[in-house]
Structure 1
Amino acid sequence: MGSLKFKQILVSFVLSVGFLFSCSNAQEDGGFKVEQGYALGTTYSIKYEAPNDTVSLKKQIEAVFDSVNASMSTYLPTSDISAINRGDSTIVVDEYFKEVYRMAKKVWRKTDGFFDPTIGALANAWGFGPEMAIDDMQQEEVDSLLEFTGFDKVFMSADGRIVKANKNIYLDFNALAKGYTIDLIGRMFDRNGVENYLIEVGGEILTKGNSEKTSKIKNWVVAIDSPIQDKEQRVLIAKVKLMDKAMATSGNYRKFRIDKETGEHYVHIINPLTGYPQKSNVLSVSVVARTCMVADAYATALMVMPLDKAKELLKTTSIIEAYIISADKDGDLVEYKTKGFQELLVE
């Protein structure tokens, strides 16, 4: 499988039926199958109620990873998105690409441009992408790259070709394609009659578990790490119960780049309106939605938005619930939870 790499997601799990992470192959756990391995530039661990044909399901899981890589991996030179980024306007994109593109447009509009898949050139320049970084980024370089930024400069034709206003525009769907991949695996399970599952890829989750066939699962329960960790002991900040829901968490407190000259830390989320890595007192955002693609996209958007704008967005967006952890001027953690997220918390 290729290497579709995504932002580091900072979620760990405490599962009500005992999730195993120790091996990289399939295991049995109380009637459930556990598939684990490495894909999309990260680890995955998938637990599902085992039907008769688990060999076929394992192959179908791998096929999903391969298909998404072939369509949207910026780390795979042969992918459709890599060809498009090189300026190939003849590529007719597949249904995977189209679905992600359309959702990206929706979130871009809803967030007033704070979520923008055209930040690829900026991400590369700041050292967070597959291309060569610019060692000494100045305002002049940022301004020039902003000319290649803006999702309003990208269109999809009726026949499925991607049209860019400037050939140098670099598309990057990493902020929602991993969540979409998880959704595709969930759809595959649904088609095969799997009624209980938890799919985790790089810390993002999709769950299903409301079957009367098993009394073990009333909800899947996952735990969110505190953004401030003790080196000696893992610190959890919340436990969340999920049923037929997805969750994604984005944070700016572990993945960053240090400038060799100044020693300054730059977080890994780029503000597409300024062209600079976002400096913010928001430490992490967890989003719950019906699909992992939606949760994934909005977790990124809420991280890059100013906190007051993020709160305003949450008041007018009914399809997501969110939990935001920020730091006040004294460095103390401050929590903001929507009503719906509060109702999912486990005491």
Structure 2
Amino acid sequence: MNRVLVPLVLSPDARRGHAPQARLCVLGGPTMGTSWSVKFVDDGTAPADLEAQIRAELDEVINQMSTWLDSSDLSRFNAAPAGSWHVLPPALFLVLEQALAIAGESGGAYDPTVGPLVEIWGFGPEGPHARPAEADIQAQRSRVGWHRIELDPVRRRARQPGGAYVDLSGIAKGYAVDAVARRLRRAGVAGYLVEIGGELYGHGVKPDGQPWWVELEQPAGGPLAMGEDKGPAAATWAALDDLAIATSGDYRRYVSDGQGVYSHTIDPRSGAPIDNGLASVTVLHPECMAADALATALTVMGPDAGLAWASRRGLAALFVQRTADGLKETMTPNFAAMME
């Protein structure tokens, strides 16, 4: 049987439902090096320029936070001289502030300044290349450290300490999902599902009253065992109502250099790709921005430390670990509560 996760509390829009004439509409296109899609309920009141409004939100994120666009606000900050202060646009400052907060809480397992290490291992804008030498890794580690970035919330400024390369790719897509969701809510849309590059946020219900069901990604790699139960796990579906879902996994992207295969997820604390046995971590959270960064942090922490850290903070998280017998699931109490 399939497993289902449902929110512990439903939104007023989900309880209210829709008028009989409501219909399901779908929009989508490319963005941020991936794709976006929005499924929404139109009862005749959705604005005609809704797609243009969504694209404007996405373009704003790219223009402020892209490391692939030299003219973005973030790229200009990364290229700025040491000791210089920079007033940031509200969205960029908000995301950077959140990124640094999660970095501090996670002990640096998530770190938005990991960019130099991402690049040297072949996962940055320059693309794949040979395994870096240890001396080069250590040289780039000197540029990494979330605590090096100073913020001035009053003036909405950030200080470039010199050589810092902020990479918000582990949180910006999540923020973009939240931004589009807020735009839809302001437009009066009572039911929608927003997806960008696999990160999702849902609100309300579909025209027929059904939830926005989303199937959790399951990595390939053999039988999936639930704790001590060695039977294969069925598909897991989550009903998203005022909930976001984000998954971080080493099965998505990797590099093989002839000496082995390594994950695209870099541990900022060691300077090397993770090798902790985790195949994926899925987080459900009221904000996609937080779910995005937290999934990365938990992946870096590993199955034991990550599970303990997430459980203490009341997070709903699912860990899929590779073992000699295949894949094994563990989950936090709040994740399990959503299946009861």
Match of 2:51 among 49, 58, 77: 58
Measure the CA separation in 2 of the matches of 1:265 and 1:30: 50
Match of 2:25 among 20, 23, 33: 33
1:87 aligned partner: 80
User: Residue deviations 1:196-218, cap 9 Å, x none?
Assistant: 000011111100016xxx76234
After superposition, where does 1:214-233 map in structure 2 within 5 Å? 216-228=208-220
Q: What TM-score comes out, normalization by structure 2 length?
A: 0.84
Measure the CA separation in 1 of the matches of 2:234 and 2:143: 40
Match of 2:331 among 317, 334, 337: 337
Q: Is the 8 A contact 2:93 2:157 kept in 1?
A: no
Match of 1:207 among 199, 202, 209: 202
Q: Is the 8 A contact 1:251 1:283 kept in 2?
A: yes
Match of 1:154 among 139, 149, 153: 149
The answer to whether 1:72 aligns with 2:70 is no
1:26 aligned partner: none
Task: Please give the root-mean-square deviation of Cα atoms over the aligned residues, in Å.
Answer: 2.2
Measure the CA separation in 2 of the matches of 1:58 and 1:43: 14
The answer to whether 1:290 aligns with 2:264 is no
Instruction: Decide whether aligned partners of structure 1 residues 249 and 236 sit closer, same or farther in structure 2, where only a CA change above 3 A counts.
Output: farther
User: Residue deviations 1:274-328, cap 9 Å, x none?
Assistant: 000111210011100001001111111111112211011112212x310110012
User: Secondary structure at 1:174's aligned position in 2?
Assistant: coil
Q: Is the 8 A contact 1:224 1:236 kept in 2?
A: no
Measure the CA separation in 2 of the matches of 1:164 and 1:236: 48
Q: Is the 8 A contact 2:215 2:237 kept in 1?
A: yes
Measure the CA separation in 2 of the matches of 1:268 and 1:133: 11
The answer to whether 1:49 aligns with 2:47 is no
**Structure 1, gaps ≥5 residues long:** 1-28
Measure the CA separation in 2 of the matches of 1:152 and 1:47: 39
Q: Is the 8 A contact 1:285 1:322 kept in 2?
A: yes
User: Residue deviations 1:246-301, cap 9 Å, x none?
Assistant: 00011101301122xx3421211100000001112100111000010011111111
- Give me the identity figure in percent: 31
Measure the CA separation in 1 of the matches of 2:325 and 2:163: 40
The answer to whether 1:197 aligns with 2:181 is no
Q: CA deviation at 1:238?
A: 1.6
Measure the CA separation in 2 of the matches of 1:265 and 1:310: 23
Instruction: Decide whether aligned partners of structure 1 residues 194 and 327 sit closer, same or farther in structure 2, where only a CA change above 3 A counts.
Output: same
Measure the CA separation in 2 of the matches of 1:33 and 1:229: 36
2:124 aligned partner: 129
**Structure 2, gaps ≥5 residues long:** 1-20, 223-232
Q: CA deviation at 1:44?
A: 1.4
Q: What is the aligned residue count?
A: 306
Match of 1:258 among 240, 256, 262: 256
Q: CA deviation at 1:76?
A: 0.8
Q: Is the 8 A contact 1:225 1:236 kept in 2?
A: no
Measure the CA separation in 2 of the matches of 1:200 and 1:70: 20
Q: CA deviation at 1:33?
A: 1.4
User: Secondary structure at 2:87's aligned position in 1?
Assistant: coil
The answer to whether 1:144 aligns with 2:103 is no
Aligned-partner residue type, residue 67 of structure 1? E
Q: CA deviation at 1:140?
A: 1.3
Measure the CA separation in 2 of the matches of 1:169 and 1:105: 13
Instruction: Decide whether aligned partners of structure 1 residues 236 and 40 sit closer, same or farther in structure 2, where only a CA change above 3 A counts.
Output: farther
User: Residue deviations 1:134-155, cap 9 Å, x none?
Assistant: 6341221111111101100111
Measure the CA separation in 2 of the matches of 1:275 and 1:108: 15
Q: Is the 8 A contact 1:247 1:289 kept in 2?
A: yes
Aligned-partner residue type, residue 273 of structure 2? P
Measure the CA separation in 2 of the matches of 1:159 and 1:142: 35
Q: CA deviation at 1:236?
A: 6.5
User: Residue deviations 1:152-192, cap 9 Å, x none?
Assistant: 01112342332132x21110011011000010111111111
Measure the CA separation in 2 of the matches of 1:150 and 1:331: 37
Q: Highest relative contact order (Cα 8 Å, sep 6+), 1 or 2?
A: 2
Q: CA deviation at 1:90?
A: 5.6
1:244 aligned partner: 242
